[in-house]
Chain A
Amino acid sequence: MADIEIRNVYKIFGHDSKKALAMARNGLAKAEILARSGCSVGLNDVSLKIGAGKIFVIMGLSGSGKSTLVRHINRLIEPTSGEVLFDGSNILDLDAKALRAFRMRRVSMVFQSFALMPHRTVLQNVVYGQRVRGISKADARAIGMKWIETVGLSGYDAKYPHQLSGGMKQRVGLARALAADTDVILMDEAFSALDPLIRADMQDQLLQLQQNLSKTIVFITHDLDEALRIGSEIAILKDGQVVQVGSPNDILDNPANDYVARFVQRRQARPE
């Protein structure tokens, strides 16, 4: 089980990050900081608690900092300031070797544009996490085939990514994350590139898997419907700040501000 806690994380992109950080701490708006220091504020004082064994959704418009935030959880991005706690210990303290072990065993990731390795077969992609750990080819193969079957790709193990459709590629991405056998899976707009029918299908499958495996899933989306459908808890991000955290019902019934309310209205305005 893994509890994740993000504490007062700031992420500033740009050269003069110290100056920009001070401005952000003083409450200046993102646009103004950009104008004055040339730095782009990715995250602005984000604090979140992500409980184990649930699907936690992070939502926001494009550019609101979702990808930046989720990449702090496996330290693909280092914060300018703040802490990221994993089961109570700060992952920013890990050295290079410990960080690799952490990434191998504790947290895996599914990417929006799949990020499959084009020169490896489906099976070789799926077992990548196992192989970098030093698991033998034969053992990894058994694990890989199991997850390929679970995501419904039996018979495709020897194919290359370019031979698959978008939906199938993302199943490979999912199988790769599952095969790594980590407590936490990060999914950065994992379904955004898929067309609606396949997307609904993948959402169902994810919910099913979550029930069976009780993983901690941090799911990024810009789509409120998707967030409501699969999230047990939803955090809404705007300009790198968390504007609301709550259950799907909280969000629908008590939108914290106009930004959230607009998400909700747009959804209600749509014909069912």
Chain B
Amino acid sequence: MTAGGLPEQGTVPMFPDSLNLSIRAPVNDFIQALVTNHGWVFKAISGVILKAVLFIEWILRGLPWWLVILAFMALAWQSSKRWSLTIAVGALLLAVGVLGLWDLTMQTLALMLMATLVSVVIGVPIGILVAKSRVVRNVTLPVLDVMQTMPSFVYLIPALMLFGLGKVPAILATIIYAVPPLIRLTDLGIRQVDGEVVEAATAFGGSPAQILFGVELPLATPTIMAGLNQTIMMALSMVVVASMIGARGLGEQVLNGIQTLDVGKGLEAGIGIVILAIVLDRITQGFGKPRTEDARNG
């Protein structure tokens, strides 16, 4: 009798070793080859992304704090036309400053903006292709499933090897994690457009581009904005992970707090992340409301 009173094992064979087929070595070789032979490609990409994010950061940290708050309040007003939200956004950002998190928040915000920007640039076109082409669809959807379920550390390491430590691999890892909902909802939004309306545009001689930009995308905008909203929220949930590979900002502060058992510090930074999430969420949600809604109410 073995421990726990269970009968002894060993009579039933385990999965036979002769059938093992490891992909470990080829994958490692592949990544290694990429790094040694094509490293300059990744350096170049890395350089561009880094420049862009530093530029955004330079603006956000260079502007006076009150101007940034005013800009966000203006955005909130533009998106919702509601005073309550506008004031709430102002108050929340003020609270960030009061907690002494302003600079860290701006760094995190720059990272978010960059990740979101790249997500839109690649996510929306891919979403359109997925909606239009069956082949692309059958290839892309499983890939998205993998991107969303694969633990992020698995791709953080190769990203590190290819792009080095710092903001760039953090942004790329964030994009891999956050872009799927944008692709899915762009696809959904395009396919949800009333087929008869598209048929009408075709019947009047609209070209594929005219129909895409004049009919399908405008009508899909609320759904695409919902996707963008989810993308931003998922990107924010990556900030702590991103800080582990050298991205600065609120995430680093949380990490720091955890490592030094400084619960208060971690909580403060955590609150900063939550505030950023609320502000970005409400603003993008406002932009997601259908345009004709205004006309209905007014």
A residues with a Cβ closer than 8 A to B are 74, 76, 100-105, 107-109, 111, 113, 115-119, 128-129, 132-133, 160, 162-163, 176, 180, 186
Contacts and interface: CB of A to CB of B under 8 A. Distances in A.
A186 B200 CA distance: 11
B204 interface: yes
Contacts of B35: none
Interface of B is mostly: helix
Nearest to B215: A117
A162 B205 contact: no
A119 B292 contact: yes
Contacts of A118: 197, 219, 292
A197 B291 CA distance: 33
A111 B219 contact: no
B20 interface: no
Nearest to A159: B295
Overall SS of chain A's interface: mixed
Contact of A115 (B196, B207, B295): B196
A180 B205 CA distance: 10
13 contacts: A102-B205, A103-B205, A104-B204, A105-B205, A108-B204, A113-B196, A115-B199, A116-B197, A118-B292, A119-B218, A119-B219, A128-B200, A132-B201
A245 to B, nearest CB: 25
B117 to A, nearest CB: 25
- Which residue, A103, A104, A132, A162, has most C-beta atoms of chain B within 10 A? A132
Interface in B204-239: 204-207, 210, 215, 218-219
Contact of B194 (A107, A115, A133): A115
Contact of A111 (B199, B206, B215, B295): B199
Interface of B: 194, 196-197, 199-207, 210, 215, 218-219, 291-292, 295-296
Contact of B197 (A107, A117, A162, A163): A117
A103 to B, nearest CB: 4
A117 B206 CA distance: 13
B295 A160 contact: yes
Given A115-B197, A118-B219, A119-B218, A160 B292 contact: yes
Given A111-B200, A113-B196, A100 B296 contact: no
Question: Which of B204, B207, B291 has the most chain A CB within a 10 Å cutoff?
Answer: B204
Q: Give the 5 A-B CB pairs with smallest separation, nearest first.
A: A104-B205, A115-B200, A103-B205, A115-B196, A129-B204
Nearest to B218: A119
A68 B6 CA distance: 71
A105 B204 CA distance: 9
Contacts of B196: 111, 113, 115
Contacts of A102: 205
A74 B292 contact: no
B203 A76 contact: yes
A101 B207 CA distance: 10
Contacts of B194: 115
A133 B196 CA distance: 20
Given A103-B202, A113-B196, A116-B200, 20 more contacts: A76-B199, A76-B203, A100-B205, A107-B203, A108-B203, A108-B204, A109-B200, A115-B196, A115-B197, A115-B199, A115-B200, A116-B197, A117-B197, A119-B218, A132-B210, A133-B205, A160-B292, A160-B295, A162-B292, A163-B295
